[in-house]
C-alpha cells in the first residue's frame, strides 16, 4: 500500500474543478484509456490570464489529486507563469507522491502542455494561413505513446537517471519493454550534453572546480585590495557567495566585485554561471 500525503487524500476525496468547459479556449489531453489513465483539461483564457480551468480524468486517486491541484495552481495565473509549471511543481504542491505514482503528475504536466500548445497554434494566424504542418514528435514507447520530448522533460525536471525511474514517471518501458534501450540512449544523451555544457565536467567535478577557483584564484586577488569572498552554496548554475570589499557599504564597489567573480568563473568553467550575493 502506498503512503499518500494528507493533501493527496484531500484532493482525491474532494476534487476541485471537475467537469468540462463547453466554450473552452484551450483543451489538452494526456494518457489513454488503453494505458489505464486519461486526463483532459479545459482552460478559459482572457487577456493572457487563465480565468477558469476544469478537468475530467479516468484514473487512480493520484491522477485525480494531481489534476485537481493543477487546476488550482493555474486559475488566475498569466500564461507565461503557467507555462513554467513542471510535474515536480505538481507533486510538490501535493506534498509528494510515491515514486510509482509520479507518472500522474507527469500526465498533468503533459495535458497542460498540450492545451497551451493548441492555444498557441490557434493564436498563430500566420501558421494557420500558411497551413504549416505541425511538427511530429518522435514516439519512443509505442505501448504508451510516449514521446522523446516527454522523456527528455521528465529527466530534466526531476533529475532522473535510470530507465526504472523513467517508467515510474512516464510509464514508458512499463509494458513490453522493447523501448528500454531507446530510453537508456536518451538518458545517456541528456547527461552527455549536460557535461558538455559544463565544460566536460560532471556536477561533482564542477562544484570542486568552482571551489578551487574561488579559494586559489579569486580570494587571493580580492585580498590584495583588502577584500575577500566566502563561498556559501552552489545550486546548479547559481553560485551563492558573501563578498567583502574595502568599502563594503558602497553598492558600486560590490557590483564590481560580483562582476569580477562572475566573469572569472564563467571564463574558467561555463558561461551560464550566475553569481548571487547571499541575502540578495
Q: How many residues of this chain interact with ligand FES, rule: CB under 6 A?
A: 11
The one-character DSSP state at 228 is E
> Should residue 31 be labelled a site residue for ligand FES when binding is judged by CB under 6 A?
no
Q: Measured from the CB of residue 168, what is the shortest distance to ligand FES in angstroms?
A: 13
Sheet with 274-277: list strands edge to edge. 228-235, 238-244, 274-277
Q: Which of 21, 143, 268, 276 binds ligand FES (CB under 6 A)?
A: 143
Sheet with 37-46: list strands edge to edge. 26-32, 37-46, 49-58
Q: Which of 176, 232, 247, 259 binds ligand FES (CB under 6 A)?
A: 176
Comparing CB distances to ligand FES, the nearer of 82 and 146 is 146
Comparing CB distances to ligand FES, the nearer of 91 and 179 is 179
Cβ neighbours, 10 Å, residue 18: 14
> Should residue 173 be labelled a site residue for ligand FES when binding is judged by CB under 6 A?
yes
> Should residue 177 be labelled a site residue for ligand FES when binding is judged by CB under 6 A?
yes
CA gap 229, 87 in Å, rounded: 37
Quick one: cell of 87?
510535474
- Among candidate residues 104, 179, 247, 250, the one labeled active-site is 104
> Should residue 27 be labelled a site residue for ligand FES when binding is judged by CB under 6 A?
no
Binding span for ligand FES by CB under 6 A among 174-182, 189-197, 222-230, 250-258: 174-182
Quick one: cell of 246?
574595502
Nearest of 117, 119, 174 to residue 146 by alpha carbon: 174
Task: Quote the Cα angle for 219-220-223, to 5°.
Answer: 85
Q: Where are the alpha helices (DSSP H) in the chain?
A: 6-13, 61-74, 79-83, 87-93, 102-123, 125-130, 148-158, 163-170, 180-197, 203-212, 219-223, 251-268
Q: Are strands 49-58 and 139-141 parallel, antiparallel or unpaired?
A: unpaired
CA gap 114, 132 in Å, rounded: 18
Sequence-distant (≥ 6) Cβ neighbours of residue 266 within 8 angstroms: 273
> Should residue 50 be labelled a site residue for ligand FES when binding is judged by CB under 6 A?
no
> Should residue 207 be labelled a site residue for ligand FES when binding is judged by CB under 6 A?
no
> Should residue 246 be labelled a site residue for ligand FES when binding is judged by CB under 6 A?
no
Binding span for ligand FES by CB under 6 A among 12-20, 135-143, 204-212, 238-246: 135-143
> Should residue 142 be labelled a site residue for ligand FES when binding is judged by CB under 6 A?
yes
104 is catalytic: yes
35 is catalytic: yes
Comparing CB distances to ligand FES, the nearer of 35 and 243 is 35
Binding span for ligand FES by CB under 6 A among 25-33, 171-179, 215-223, 241-249: 171-179
> Should residue 139 be labelled a site residue for ligand FES when binding is judged by CB under 6 A?
no
> Should residue 213 be labelled a site residue for ligand FES when binding is judged by CB under 6 A?
no
The residues that touch ligand FES, with contacts defined as CB under 6 A, are 141-143, 172-179
Active site residues: 35, 104
Amino acid at each position: 500500500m502506498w503512503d499518500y500525503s494528507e493533501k493527496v487524500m484531500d484532493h482525491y476525496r474532494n476534487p476541485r474543478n471537475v467537469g468540462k468547459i463547453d466554450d473552452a479556449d484551450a483543451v489538452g489531453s494526456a494518457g489513454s484509456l488503453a494505458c489505464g489513465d486519461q486526463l483532459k483539461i479545459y482552460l478559459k483564457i482572457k487577456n493572457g490570464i487563465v480565468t477558469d480551468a476544469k478537468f475530467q480524468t479516468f484514473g487512480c486517486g493520484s491522477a485525480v489529486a494531481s489534476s485537481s491541484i493543477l487546476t488550482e495552481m493555474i486559475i488566475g495565473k498569466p500564461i507565461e507563469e503557467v507555462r513554467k509549471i513542471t510535474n515536480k511543481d505538481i507533486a510538490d504542491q501535493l506534498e509528494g507522491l510515491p515514486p510509482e505514482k509520479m507518472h500522474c503528475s507527469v500526465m498533468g504536466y503533459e495535458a497542460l502542455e498540450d492545451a497551451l500548445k493548441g492555444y498557441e497554434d490557434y493564436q498563430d494566424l500566420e501558421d494557420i494561413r500558411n497551413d504549416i504542418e505541425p511538427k511530429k514528435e518522435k514516439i519512443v514507447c509505442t505501448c504508451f505513446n510516449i514521446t522523446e520530448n516527454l522523456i527528455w522533460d521528465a529527466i530534466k525536471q526531476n533529475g532522473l537517471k535510470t530507465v526504472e525511474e523513467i517508467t515510474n514517471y512516464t510509464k514508458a518501458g512499463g509494458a513490453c519493454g522493447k523501448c528500454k534501450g531507446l530510453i537508456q540512449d536518451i538518458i545517456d544523451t541528456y547527461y552527455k550534453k549536460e557535461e558538455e555544457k559544463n565544460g566536460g565536467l560532471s556536477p561533482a567535478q564542477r562544484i570542486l572546480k568552482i571551489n578551487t577557483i574561488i579559494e586559489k584564484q579569486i580570494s587571493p586577488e580580492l585580498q590584495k585590495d583588502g577584500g575577500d569572498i566566502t563561498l556559501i552554496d552552489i545550486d546548479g548554475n547559481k553560485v551563492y557567495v558573501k563578498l567583502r570589499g574595502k568599502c563594503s557599504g558602497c553598492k558600486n564597489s560590490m557590483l564590481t566585485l560580483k562582476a569580477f567573480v562572475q566573469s572569472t568563473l564563467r571564463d574558467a568553467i561555463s558561461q551560464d554561471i550566475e553569481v548571487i550575493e547571499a541575502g540578495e
